[in-house]
Chains A and B, each alone.
Chain A
Amino acid sequence: MSDDAPTRFAPPTSPAGAPFWEASRERRLVLPWCDGCARPHWYPREVCPHCLAPDVSWRPSDGRGTIYAASVMPKPAMPMMASLVPYVVVLVDLDDGVRLMSNVIGCEPRAASVGRRVRAAWEPLEDGRHLLVFELDD
């Protein structure tokens, strides 16, 4: 494998998720908020999962949150991530009020434990989009 082979899976983009991925090109975090009940949701959907309203507005987020759950992978889930092990998979509760899956980078994986504060970071994907990951923030 060459040194610059991608280590990150660049996922296909759903229509509902497109605004998130477009903003990720500029490392901007935006979240879907329902125009009907004024609540955020994650993952992006064509309708609000709280009230089924079909109108969603995208609002910026400061990307801060708290680790809700964490697990270190001693083996890669896919071969392209082999050079990254061990790495930590987390669920992050954003202060905005949604929970999402991600990784915490830039620290010992075991340091990214439940309750730690984190802030958004971005890992480049080969197509110019970025993957939303996190760094410790406390």
Chain B
Amino acid sequence: MTDPFRGRAAIVGVADAASPTGELVGTTRALEAAMVREALADAGLALTDVDGVFAGTGGTFMHSMELAEYLGIQPRWTDSTQTGGSSFEVLCEHAAAAIALGRCEVAIITYAATPRSSFKRGGPGFGGGAQRAAALAAGVVPPMVEWELPFGMRTPMGAYALAASRHMAQYGTTSEQLAQIAVSTRRWAARNPRARLQELITIDEVLASPYEATPLHKLECCLVTDGAGAVVLTSAERARDLARPPVLVLGAGTSHTHSMISQMPDLTVTAGTVSGPAAFAQAGIGPDDVDVLETYDSFTITVLLALEDLGFCPKGDGGAFVADDPLGPGGSLPANTNGGGLAYTHPGMYGIFLLVEAVRQLRGECGDRQVPGAEVAVAHGCGGVLSSTSTIVLGTEATR
């Protein structure tokens, strides 16, 4: 029997904004509004059609309420789930489920952050310091402050570096193999005129860049840029009559294993071992059926672990798997085709860009970086410090 979730909702509108300068003009709210307007226009829908509001960020406290108020929406379904960079895959799963249940018909998901221009203006840039300070002021000692902060781990790169150190010791993974992921991703960025970093790089250049936290080098770490995006979903039925070819949500899965890195049960195994198989089972397909993979690349190790946990290669074999450049243009598993968080944009929570690029690939809109004939795409978000994963399997009308 077909899964009751499979193919019931579709992504019908997308928008994103990023610049080679790394900076965007405007407040985050204005950018979000512009993205929602663009994505609705892309779909051929109006603001008055929207009855589902999904916002994991952007407010001071009650994200979806603050966004809906700003945009003038009274929704039937509201969702402020926050799981870091994977939030937007989680929200996509929730939106598709709400639509499948008939609880809302047109859902918007949006995100904007301007850490680069904020930092230049003397603001805090990206980080959790403000939230920690607020918790302390309220008399609550966050476990991270008491049990991790005193040891001086640089955040977030230190947490991912610990995972990389473990994977290398346990499986013999090398720095050259991890560097290849950055090299492959940059080959895609070279084909994206909006990417922040478009020059090709070599493994030697990655290894010659300074350590941010051993064993991770600077060129293995994501950017800090401004960026914004939005996604519009509706029912598969309604999607048939809209402006663009619908991209069906075939499957979705979410899980998390911990919040702070010292609590991660096994630093070589992410929650993707739960979210990935769940999403594939609903979709009725497997990793071999995936034409294009958009997977969170906060760091090279994030990609390596996802490849193993989603089943593209056995656990421990990620290093050997990536070594021959399967992830780059012309490879067997085209991945992060916009240049990823490593080279396109990374405003702190990258998940919305995974969805936007996956949709554009399935619509065949990607020009120089188009994966020919792509019919199945996976958007795999990872949030916190390898803490939360959410996997969305998407397909063209042909996969219905």
Contacts and interface: CB of A to CB of B under 8 A. Distances in A.
B386 to A, nearest CB: 12
Interface stretch (B99-107, B147-155, B361-369): B147-155
A48 interface: no
Given A11-B149, A73-B153, A77-B154, A110 B169 contact: no
Interface stretch (A27-35, A54-62, A83-91): A83-91
A74 interface: yes
15 contacts: A11-B147, A12-B146, A43-B146, A69-B163, A71-B165, A74-B211, A74-B212, A77-B155, A77-B158, A78-B152, A84-B152, A91-B262, A101-B151, A113-B169, A114-B170
B145 interface: yes
A81 B152 contact: yes
Interface string B184-220: 0000000000000000000000000011111110000
A68 B163 CA distance: 10
Contacts of B216: 71
The 9 closest A-B pairs by CB, nearest first: A114-B169, A71-B161, A69-B162, A14-B141, A101-B262, A72-B214, A77-B152, A69-B166, A89-B153
**Chain B contact surface mostly:** helix
A64 interface: no
A37 interface: no
A99 B147 CA distance: 11
A72 B214 CA distance: 5
Contacts of A114: 165-166, 168-170
B143 interface: yes
A117 B211 CA distance: 25
Nearest to B164: A71
A77 B153 contact: yes
B53 to A, nearest CB: 34
A115 B163 CA distance: 14
A67 to B, nearest CB: 9
Nearest to B265: A99
A50 interface: no
B178 to A, nearest CB: 14
A74 B146 contact: no
Nearest to A21: B146
A8 B168 CA distance: 30
Contact of A131 (B150, B165, B211): B150
A17 B165 contact: no
Interface string B112-156: 000000000000000000000000100001010111111111110
- Residue of B149, B212, B214, B216 most packed against chain A (CB within 10 A): B214
A128 interface: no
Contacts of B150: 8-11, 131
Given A11-B146, A14-B146, A72 B151 contact: no
B313 interface: no
Contact of B151 (A10, A13, A43, A89): A89
B370 to A, nearest CB: 38
Contacts of A14: 141, 143, 146
A14 to B, nearest CB: 4
A79 to B, nearest CB: 11
B170 to A, nearest CB: 8
B267 interface: yes
Contact of A17 (B146, B170, B212, B215): B146
Given A12-B141, A73-B213, A103 B152 contact: yes
Contacts of A73: 152-154, 158, 213
A115 B169 contact: yes
A36 interface: no
Given A71-B216, A78-B152, 5 more contacts: A11-B147, A17-B146, A17-B147, A70-B162, A131-B151
B158 to A, nearest CB: 5
A116 to B, nearest CB: 10
B219 to A, nearest CB: 15
A15 to B, nearest CB: 9
